[in-house]
Amino acid sequence: MISQMQQKSESPDTKGKILEVRGLTKRFGGIIANDNIDMDVFVGEIVGLIGPNGAGKSTLFDMVAGVKPSGSKRFPDAGCVRFLGHDITQLKAHQVCRLGLARTFQIVRILEKMSVLENVTVGALCRTSEVYEAEKKAEKICEFVGLKDRQNLAAGELTIEGKKRLELARALATEPKLLLLDEVMAGLNPSEVAETLDLLRQINKQGITIIIVEHVMQAVMAISDRIVVLDYGKKIADDTPEAVVKDKNVIDAYLGSEDA
Which of residues 28 and 251 has its CB atom nearest to another protein in the complex? 28
Which of residues 28 and 240 has its CB atom nearest to another protein in the complex? 28
Which of residues 179 and 244 has its CB atom nearest to another protein in the complex? 179
CB of 43 to another protein, least distance (A): 21
CB of 54 to another protein, least distance (A): 20
Q: Where are the alpha helices (DSSP H) in 20-159?
A: 57-65, 93-99, 116-124, 131-145
167: left (phi over 0), alpha (psi -120 to 50) or beta: alpha
Which of residues 2 and 131 has its CB atom nearest to another protein in the complex? 131
Q: Can you tell me the distance from the alpha carbon of 166 to that of 11, in angstroms, rounded to the nearest whole number?
A: 27
Q: Can you tell me the distance from the alpha carbon of 251 to that of 245, in angstroms, rounded to the nearest whole number?
A: 7
CB of 28 to another protein, least distance (A): 12
Q: Can you tell me the distance from the alpha carbon of 131 to that of 127, in angstroms, rounded to the nearest whole number?
A: 11
Which residues of the shown chain bind another protein in the complex (CB under 8 A)? Answer: 65-67, 92-95, 97-98, 102-103, 105, 109-115, 117-118, 121-123, 125-132, 134-135, 152, 170-171, 174
- Element (DSSP H or E) covering residue 152: none
CB of 200 to another protein, least distance (A): 19
Which of residues 170 and 226 has its CB atom nearest to another protein in the complex? 170
DSSP string across 24-53: EEEEETTEEEEEEEEEEEETT-EEEEE-ST
CB of 105 to another protein, least distance (A): 7
65 to 97, 151, 203: CA distances (angstroms): 8, 27, 20
